[in-house]
Structure 1
Amino acid sequence: MEYLGLLVFFFIMLGLALVLISLNYLLGPKTPDPMEDYPYECGVPLYDKSAQNTFHQGYYLLGLMLLLFDIEAAFLFPWAVVYKNLGFLGFTEMVIFILILTYGLLYAWRTGALDWQFEEERID
């Protein structure tokens, strides 16, 4: 009896899924799209199927920036949990850590790593 609500919810969910899939099959377009099986990656559609294309360096810089600030968040959470036990030395170390990361962000900003105004790519 404890799981009756969960069982009812499961059947309602299953019935709704079947109804929506059936409606999509009955009312959806019947002509296949020629680009349906075309690969799409990183927000840039491929214009040919060769693997010799290069990506703009902005994608790599963005990945490095994401990694940098993910590491910052990974260090800030445990530090915040034990903040009371660390005292002034722990606070000073974290301020230095955040200042170094802030300098990295300012450097990336100043050098234009965060500007996403790419020149138009040629399609041959």
Structure 2
Amino acid sequence: MGGVLAQGGGTELGSYLPFVFLFLLGIGFAGVSAAMGSLLGPKRYNRAKLDAYECGIEPSPQPVVGGGRVPVAYYLTAMLFILFDIEMVFLYPFAVTAKVLGAFGLVEIVLFIATVGFAYAYVWRRGGLDWN
């Protein structure tokens, strides 16, 4: 029994030790960073700093029934970000494995870029990129 452990057989739990160490290191770093920020950071509070930030909209003291109107540009910006962010997420693995995928991968990625291009042209034509 001692010979197996001495040869590096060990238990299967021992193979998770680096992951546990990395997890604990990450938690420790986050905790130390948060603590140091609150301990060493500037403490100059004023009324404007303590007010809620509402993306440029003046906060009202009274809650508006139904939450008030939010400009559609916020939602359009979020959808455009998601559209082009997801495009990059799918293009990166293709760029890494382009030689392995061959002609099939090339056709698929051209179809994907064409689909995203149609979406981009639609948004452009509808005025979604005008920031007036």
What TM bracket, shorter-length normalisation? 0.5 to 0.7
TM-score normalised to the size of structure 2? 0.60
Residue of structure 1 equivalent to 2:60:
48
Whether the aligned pair in 1 keeps the contact of 2:76 and 2:128 (CA below 8 Å) is yes
The answer to which structure, 1 or 2, has the higher relative contact order (CA under 8 A, 6+ apart) is 1
Residue of structure 1 equivalent to 2:93:
78
The offset of 1:33, in angstroms, is 3.5
> How far, CA to CA, are the matches of 2:120 and 2:101 in structure 1?
27
Does 1:64 find its partner at 2:76?
A: no
Q: Identity over aligned residues, as a percent? A: 34
TM-score normalised to the size of structure 1? 0.64
Q: Secondary structure at the match of 1:44?
A: coil
Residue of structure 1 equivalent to 2:102:
87
- Aligned partner letter, 1:96: L
Trace 1:1-124 onto structure 2 (pairs within 5 A): 33-41=46-54, 43-49=55-61, 50-51=63-64, 52-117=67-132
Q: How many residue pairs end up in the alignment?
A: 92
The offset of 1:114, in angstroms, is 1.4
Whether the aligned pair in 2 keeps the contact of 1:39 and 1:45 (CA below 8 Å) is no
- Aligned partner letter, 1:61: L
> How far, CA to CA, are the matches of 2:75 and 2:46 in structure 1?
32
Which structure shows the higher helix fraction? 2
For structure 1, which runs of at least 5 residues remain unmatched after alignment?
1-13, 118-124
For structure 2, which runs of at least 5 residues remain unmatched after alignment?
1-35
Q: Secondary structure at the match of 2:91?
A: helix
Q: Secondary structure at the match of 1:36?
A: helix
The offset of 1:64, in angstroms, is 0.5
The offset of 1:53, in angstroms, is 2.1
RMSD: 2.2
Q: Secondary structure at the match of 1:104?
A: helix
The offset of 1:84, in angstroms, is 0.2
